[in-house]
Structure 1
Amino acid sequence: MSKIKEAFAKEKAFIPFITCGDPDLETTEKIIEAMAAAGADLIELGIPFSDSTAEGSVIQEGNLRALSGGVTTDKVFDIVRRVRQKVTLPMVFMTYANVVFSYGTARFLDKAAEVGVDGLILPDVPYEEKEEFAPLCEAAGLDLISMIAPTSHDRIKMIAAEAKGFVYCVSSLGVTGVRSEITTDIGAMVRLVKEANPDIPCAVGFGISTPAQAEKMAAVSDGAIVGSAIVRLCEKYGREAAGPIGEYVRSMKVAVLQKD
């Protein structure tokens, strides 16, 4: 079993996302350690990119803050290498195809595996184009995480059948961001995934920000993913963000477990 699948093996998972280097690299390390200590099961690490098309304004601004601070892909690798001395839970990179291409795909994936990353999410690479990355990910020992959207329809089973690690269920159309209400029938999406691949975990992301939303989404899936709400805390608290983010992650983990 892959390390990522293991994160879902015992209970519902909470998966926080942060943009590496927002507000700075030193704070990113503290945030990763705080999230791990607060009960995160898997952490998504965003490698900043100037044209992050899947992201809403909150994460786009986080990307720009990180890039203006001089964050590079190599500096992100260095963060992971350092954090891996203390944090054992699975970590995946979330970034864009151009970031990987410009670094050199095989070189990027080998380096990611070397520093201790377990998987990769590329929101701008559709299922039909994943063969550019999938064999190289497998060779490097990384899970290439598949995303399904409410518009995937007939493709859901096809995507799920070949999925690695976990399936990222996109709860809403459009870009990432905090939403007051999520109306997509997530349960139906998850059922289609499980029919095609009973062993693959499904986690829901895009728009989740409150414990109530996390509880609702986890009730019909294997876990909840939160990004924009955490990046907002980075913006609000800056270099003091690790404490508030740790508290937030703790509250969200309690919510996905549906315990009082």
Structure 2
Amino acid sequence: MNEKIREAQTSDRRQDTPLETVRFVLSWLLVLVVIRTVLVEPFTIPSGSMIPTLQVGDYVFVTKFDYGWSRFSLPFSPDLFKGRIWGAAPHRGDVAVFRYTQNTSEDYIKRIIGLPGDHVQVTGGELYINGEKVPRRALGAYSVDDERGDAQTGMRYLETLPPSKGGVSVTHQILKQTDAGEPNNTREYIVPEGYFFAMGDNRDNSSDSRFQADNGRDLGYVPMVNLVGKARFVWFSYEARHPVWQFWQWPFEIRWSHLFAVMD
């Protein structure tokens, strides 16, 4: 009996060797990489272009299987294959993460407004899709700070986008400071095949598909292959108004009411 106990103890010690520990850690790292690549990935919101839907300091979960997978779904975006595997078209109104058209190492998050073949135009600050004005309803004045600490003030509206094929109409909030200026009075855009038209919900403070100049900076139409995933919900939100060492302020920096907010 004692011999059997000693053999079991010896076996246990062998399982706790440094090599076994390394294998265990590598196995879990591999699982996390697969989950991040195939299923879901967290992203941080660094700018105010999606206010009021998303705030600076929001952390969102993005599902990566909704639109299929491209090389941009993989860590470091290796050029292993072209196009998308099991690709699926997004729906109008989706809040999507995609790679910036001028620098694919950068992630952008915007709302998909136009799909291939759509006619998109902004006139007098109001959005038109395929010749029809998109209805909006005023919700009242709104103010919040952006990533620079500047106040984003204006009128908050509830906008209802027309449904895309196989989708449903999406009602979401936007922020408007003015109905004047070039971004609020655009030409008619016709979205090319294989692309989509993206806009920020903070309509007067968003660099999006309304800006089409070939100057190496503007977003323009976004290729479908640049899609990374669909934003689902806010899992954490932090204002960071105080220095990080002021730990007693941490509970007051959390936007408790914004946690687990689902994307419209």
Greater RCO (CA < 8 Å, at least 6 residues apart): 1
Between structures 1 and 2, the one with greater strand share: 2
Work out which of the two has the higher radius of gyration on C-alpha atoms and give 1 or 2: 2
Query: What TM-score bracket applies, with the shorter chain setting the length?
Result: under 0.3
Structure holding more helix per residue:
1
The alignment's TM-score, normalised by the length of structure 1, stands at: 0.24
